[in-house]
Amino acid sequence: MPVSQVNAATTGLALEMQGVTKRFPGVLANDQVDFQLRKGEIHALLGENGAGKSTLMNILYGLYTPDEGKTYLDGKDVTIHSPSDAIANGIGMVHQHFMLIPVMTVAENITLGQEVTKAGAFLDPKRARRRINELSAQYGFEVDPDALVADLPVGLQQRVEIIKALYRHADILILDEPTAVLTPQEIEELFRAMRSLVAEGKSIIFITHKLKEVFAVADHITVLRNGRVVGTTTPAEATEASLAAMMVGREVILRVSKDEAEPGKPVLEVRNLQALDEREQIVLRGVNFAVQEGEVLGIAGVQGNGQTELVEVLTGLRPSLSGQVIIGGQDVTNTTPRTVTEQGVAHIPEDRHEFGMVTSYSVAQNLALVTYYQPPFARGVVMQDKAIDDNATTLVEEFDIRTPSIHTSGGSLSGGNQQKLVVARELSRPIKLLIASQPTRGVDVGSIEFIHQRIIEQRDQGVAVLLVSAELDEIMSLSDRIAVMYHGEIMATLDAETAERATLGLLMAGVHPNQ
Amino acid sequence: MTSATTTASTAIPSKFMTRSRWFGVVYLIFGVLLVYLAMTALDPEAVSKFRFGQIEASIMDRLPEAVQTGLKQGVPIPSRNSMLLVGILLLITGVVPFLLPPQVAKRYENLVLMLVFGLLLAAVLIYAATGKRTDVVSMLADGIRLATPIALGALAGILCERAGVVNIGIEGMMLVGAGLGFTASLYLQNSTAGLVVAILAGMLMAALHAVLSISFKVDQIISGTVINILAVGITGFTRRSFLLDNPFGAPSVYSPIPIPVLSDIPVLGPVLFRHQPIVYTMLILVFVIQFYLFRTKWGLRHRAVGEHPRAADTLGINVIRARYLAVIAGGAIAGLAGAWFSLETVGSFDDLMTGGKGFIALAAMIFGNWNPIGAFFGALLFGFADALQIKLQILETGIPYQFIGMLPYVLTMIVLAGVIGKTTPPAADGVPYEKQ
């Protein structure tokens, strides 16, 4: 509901966007979106991936130009053409993928573009350092201006991003999915920081798709779906279920229903596994665990604690330094990905573009990619197009992959459908072990529900499932046992029934709760 | 809250044969070879005589009689014993990595590599000059002179790549600078005008590379290759059409400008302060660009564009403009390097006269880890190797000159094969920037 300009100034609106429309080729990303931000509030912008949250914020920050619509700041009509315009108008944005340069210092990153100089040209690191220390003290953000960004943990990097916006005198802060990379404790700290910023008179737009966080911190909630505003509400008026229904357009089962696990023989055994990362630093420091038939072992942990490398070693993509990987009784340490696959292993990789599919291949070709060299897909050296197409038609139907045709290129599907494509290919083979790494990252709520059900289905059929995820909710709702990984080691393995969030959070931060 | 715990039981496995130790083994082999060579191939009585350039008469007169004759006729050094000494020093550098903790050895790895390179250079000279006389100072001065186009090319590469544009077209930009610069200087009978044309020609070629790789997002290797092939065509055509038959006499090359006072310092003077103008320009540019990149706000933005263009964009930095400027400025320097060949060194133009120096420049850039001063040392390495191979050809060592002439190129391959350890290019090097 548009508010007149005069009203806007008097009712304390920091920002109002009216009738914002943005079209991309073939997609209406924002359709007549109205959005109001009050001064000194935290306003959550909630929606599934692809709902148009980021598009709206990129328009506000000047990265996109809207096709229609107006933006008012403090009641004044403004046009924002570029990020510099946004910065000049007191808008700061912390992007989901940090806009930091790892090889530069904190001070260089913060001042870039508005450097502290002598004679208008020469960098003055001493004064820059002082200015940043003043800002840190003012808002209670401890950070060392001389540290290299590459050496900082993600939580601190995020703080650098916030200081970067404050350094540019931002009054409106846009935080784009800020909690995705943090531990529960770091999320608490971020929320405290957000509240203290609001107390200082800043206004915050908080983009997220996690319902719990909205209730923890937001004053108002605006929900977007398919580029349109579905409604604006407050945490007091809404419930998790009502918000989820607004996001998806129908009721969603938030908790995966599953029966008691019936674990059998161990399928995957990992013994004292060690491995190096790209920089030749040790990243797995002796990992031990086993996954049994008919159970889901969840690996919880903050990203970057060795989970990615662990999965790569298990699937034959990365050599190990020492230790053993045993699948179905056979030692597959340092063999090839094909050997591992032929042991009956399915792999849903965390980066579907790099490891899961060939984006320029058709849906049908992608669905045949793992066993393309075996009958029925190949006879000798000749590919059997008929068999490949038949397989695709069946799987597209069975896994509800929304695609114009099985000959469309895989890369043109939406994220959720690409992920369903990978899941369909991996689960359509007879398997003993499923290694699923971040299986629902960047996937909409509807598809998440679907993928979760499929994983549980596999478990019930006696497949051993190793689930690696940075989403604690996902780990807790799917797993039978939870192993927490920190700094290249398994800190502890807990029973999922009795595991508490707080305990897991501490373990994820490398602390044994009983010490 | 207790602090983070890391279990002590997970000892990090360490390899016994670290990189430094493998290098040590190579040094040991060299050392043994030299000692063997000294004991068998060299006559115990033989001497190698080294001269140290022309010494000013006023200074010479104040030196003792013995030193004077030594400097005039060359200082005699016993070939066999000095070769033995070099061999033993090499053996020591080979053993040390095995005695030191790996981390300490790693820290000094590249320093030791430079030292070993110097020792091998000395050994080659001693051997080649056995029973003869050779001038060390002129060789060092030549080294710096020959390092000039390589260092300039490396600076051009650094400007481009620090902004995120890979430039393998430096060779072509040099060649066009050399060819068109010389033609202009001939027809205008003005070597300064020739220099200006050389620089402009380099900029023009770079502008083409910029349009192709930044605006049209052509693969930057392809675009660079296009530049190199185009340059051969342009200069070949120019030479046949305007240079083979022309009514003018060739202008003389730029004469050396001795720096007052400094050029009179013995040894150091002739090595550093009696050069031609482009050599001095190169020395100044190395420091200017180092300062620009790391101490000015424009340098900070330049590097940001090469590391993370989207981050720079979100802070209001115009990525496309920054890349254009960087590539074209690099072209200007490559054009200047071209002028070094035709206008400063030989006073004529031949087809393909840049002889791959633009590619060696890229090796020097990598050697220096994309830092101007580091790249300058890389260029010196190649310059000295070049000077040495010229000296060896003069000394008539009996090795076919074709093999000796390969020295700088072989060195390039060794450097690029990763002997200098891990280098890190700018993160967005070679990646075209697309606005979302």
B402: Cβ contacts below 8 Å, ≥ 6 apart: none
- Looking at chain A, how many residues does it have? 515
Q: Name the residue of chain A whose CA is nearest to B7's CA.
A: A489
Could A274 and B303 be called an inter-chain contact, meaning their C-beta atoms sit closer than 8 Å? no
* pLDDT score recorded for residue B354: 94
Q: Which residues of A touch B (CB under 8 A)?
A: 58, 61, 63-64, 82-84, 87, 93, 95, 99-104, 108, 112-115, 117, 121-123, 274, 282, 285-286, 321-322, 486-489, 506, 509-512, 515
Q: Are residues A2 and A85 in the same domain?
A: yes
- Chain B interface mutation, best of A101, A109, A183, A288, highest count of B Cβ atoms under 10 Å: A101
Token digits of residue A301: 């942990």
**pLDDT averaged per 10 residues, chain A (length 515):** 42 88 82 93 85 88 91 92 91 90 94 92 93 88 90 87 93 89 82 91 89 90 90 90 78 69 90 87 92 94 87 94 93 93 93 87 93 89 92 92 87 82 93 93 78 92 92 88 92 90 84 73
pLDDT at A251 (0 to 100): 59
User: Quick one: A10 and A80 in the same domain?
Assistant: yes
CB-based contact B303 A104, cutoff 8 Å: yes
CA distances from A77 to A6, A69, B321 (A): 12, 11, 30
- Model confidence pLDDT, tens digit, residues A93-150: 998 888 999 999 999 999 999 999 999 899 999 999 999 999 988 888 888 999 999 8
Cα distances from B169 to residues B158, B203, B357, in angstroms, run 13, 12, 11
Kindly state whether residues A324 and A202 are assigned to the same domain: no
Residue A22 sits in a domain of what CATH number?
3.40.50.300
Report the candidate in A58, A443, A97 with the shortest Cα–Cα distance to residue B436: A58
CA–CA min distance B221, chain A (Å): 23
**DSSP structure class, residue B213:** I
Tokens read off for A206: 């908080």
Q: Specify the 3-state DSSP secondary structure of B398.
A: coil
Tokens for A128? 């820059």
What is the predicted pLDDT for the residue at A4? 41
Residues A57 and A185 reside in one and the same domain: yes
Does residue A11 lie within any of the structural domains? Answer: yes
Q: Rounded to a whole number, what is the distance in Å from the CA of A285 to chain B's nearest CA?
A: 6
**pLDDT reading at B93 higher than 60:** yes
Q: Are A291 and A466 in contact (CB under 8 A)?
A: yes
Distance from CA of A83 to the nearest CA of B (A): 5
Q: Tell whether A327 is covered by a domain.
A: yes
Distance from CA of A504 to the nearest CA of B (A): 14
| A343 belongs to a structural domain | no
The pLDDT value recorded for residue A255 is 66
The most distant pair of C-alpha atoms in chain B lies apart, rounded to whole Å, by 88
pLDDT at A254: 59
Q: Count Cβ atoms below 10 Å from residue A171 Cβ, excluding itself.
A: 20
Q: Residues B383, B389, B391, B397: what is their CA dihedral angle, to the nearest 10 degrees?
A: 160
**A55 in any annotated domain:** yes
Minimum-distance CB partner of A63 among B311, B424, B436 = B436
Structural domain including A61 reads: 1-90+171-247
Structure tokens at B410: 């072989």
Residue B307 to residue A104, Cβ atoms within 8 A: yes
- Both A3 and A81 in a single domain? yes
- Distance of residue B8 Cα from the nearest chain A Cα, in angstroms: 10
From chain A, the residues in CB contact with B7 under 8 A are 285, 489
Distance CA B99, CA B21 (A): 10
Element (H, E) at A273: strand A266-276
CA atoms within 13 A on the CB side of A407: 3
| Yes or no, beta carbons of A83 and B316 under 8 Å apart | yes
Q: With an 8 Å Cβ cutoff, are A511 and B316 in contact?
A: no
Using alpha carbons, select from B159, B202, B204 the residue that is nearest to residue B305. B159
Please give the average per-residue pLDDT across B64-86, as a whole number: 81
The verdict on a CB contact (< 8 Å) between B301 and A108 is: no
What b-and-e string marks burial along A210-236, b requiring 16 or more CB atoms within 10 Å of the CB?
Answer: bbebbbebbbbbbbbbebbbbeebebe
The answer to the question of residue A22 being in a domain is: yes
**pLDDT grade, residue B72 (50/70/90)?**
confident
Residues of B in contact with A61 (CB under 8 A): 314
Report the candidate in A437, A429, A108, A405 with the shortest Cα–Cα distance to residue A297. Answer: A437
Give the nearest partner residue to A112 out of B13, B301, B435, using CB atoms: B301
| pLDDT score recorded for residue B180 | 96
pLDDT recorded at residue A52 = 84
Q: What percent of chain B has pLDDT over 70?
A: 94
pTM of the full structure: 0.79
Mean pLDDT of all residues in B262-285: 90
C-beta separation of A207 from A53 below 8 A = yes
* Six-digit token string for A141: 């953000």
Cβ pair A115:B300 closer than 8 A? yes
Q: What pLDDT shows up at residue A28?
A: 82
Both A124 and A68 in a single domain? no
Say whether A115 and B436 touch across the interface (CB within 8 A).
no
Q: Which of B7, B294, B315 to substitute to test the interface with A, most A CBs within 10 Å?
A: B315
Structure letter (DSSP) for residue B197: H
Residue A305 lies in a domain: yes
Please answer yes or no on whether B13 and A321 come within 8 Å at the CB atom: yes
How many Cβ pairs within 8 Å bridge chains A and B? Answer: 99
Of A169, A203, A222, at which residue does a domain stop?
A: A169
Helix (H) or strand (E) holding A283: strand A282-292
Cβ count near A106 (within 10 Å): 27
- pLDDT tens digits, residue range B218-266? 999 999 999 999 999 999 999 999 998 888 877 788 888 998 888 888 7
C-beta of residue A340 within 8 angstroms of C-beta of residue A315 = yes
The CA distances from residue A177 to A87, A154, A180, A300, in Å, are 20, 13, 6, 19
| From B13, B297, B311, residue closest to A99, measured CB to CB | B311
Q: Which residues of A touch B13 (CB under 8 A)?
A: 274, 282, 321-322
- Kindly determine whether residue A112 and residue B427, on different chains, have CB atoms separated by under 8 Å: no
Q: Which of A200, A226, A247 is the last residue of a domain?
A: A247
Contact A515 B5 (CB under 8 A): yes
Nearest to A487 among B6, B12, B435 (CB): B6
8 Å CB contact of A112 and B315: yes
The end-to-end CA distance of chain B, in Å, is 43
Query: Is B308 within 8 Å of A99 when comparing Cβ atoms?
Result: yes
How far apart CA B158 and CA B164 sit, in angstroms, is 10
Q: How far apart are CA A149 and CA A127, in angstroms?
A: 19
Is residue A133 located within the same domain as residue A273?
no
What DSSP character marks residue A479? -
Say yes or no: A152 and A126 in one domain: yes
CA dihedral in degrees (A419, A420, A422, A428; nearest 10)? Answer: 160
Nearest by CB to residue B304, choosing from A64, A101, A322, is A101
Q: Are residues A185 and A50 in the same domain?
A: yes
Model confidence at B398, pLDDT cuts 50, 70, 90, reads confident
Residue of B nearest to A108 (CA): B300
- So what's the pLDDT on residue B409? 82
Per the CB < 8 Å rule, is B297 touching A108? no
Contact B2 A282 (CB under 8 A): no
Both tokens assigned to A12: 């304390």
- Looking at the fold, whether A197 and A86 belong to one and the same domain comes out as yes
A14 near A205, Cβ under 8 Å?
Answer: no
So what's the pLDDT on residue B11?
A: 45
Asked if the Cβ–Cβ distance from B13 to A101 is below 8 Å, we say: no
Q: How many residues does chain B have?
A: 436
Give me the torsion for CA of A422, A424, A426, A428, rounded to 10°.
-160
CB contact under 8 A, A58 and B436: yes
What integer is the mean pLDDT of B342-348? Answer: 91
HEC string of A4-62 equals CHHHHHHCCEEEEEEEEEEEECCEEEEEEEEEEEECCCEEEEEECCCCCHHHHHHHHCC
DSSP code for B416: I
Q: Which residue of B has its CA nearest to A168?
A: B315
Gap from A447 CA to chain B (nearest CA, Å): 26
* Domain stop point among A190, A222, A247: A247
Question: Which domains does chain B carry?
Answer: 16-131 (no CATH), 139-419 (1.10.3470.10)
Specify whether the backbone of A139 is left (phi greater than 0), alpha (psi in -120 to 50) or beta. Answer: alpha
Cβ-based contacts of B2 with chain A (< 8 Å): 511-512, 515
**Counts for chain B of helices (H) and strands (E), in that order:** 19, 5
> What total number of domains does chain A contain?
3
- Chain B residue with CA closest to A102: the answer is B307
User: Using the beta-carbon criterion (under 8 Å), do B316 and A489 form an inter-chain contact?
Assistant: no
What pLDDT shows up at residue A462? 93
Same domain, A163 and A175: no
pLDDT (0 to 100) of residue B8: 38
Residue A395 lies in a domain: no
Asked if the peptide bond before residue A376 counts as cis, ω within 30 degrees of 0, the response is: yes
Residue B162: list chain A partners with CB under 8 A: none
| A378 domain residue, yes or no | no
**Are residues A68 and A206 located together in one domain of the fold?**
yes
- CA pair distance A158, A141, nearest whole angstrom: 11
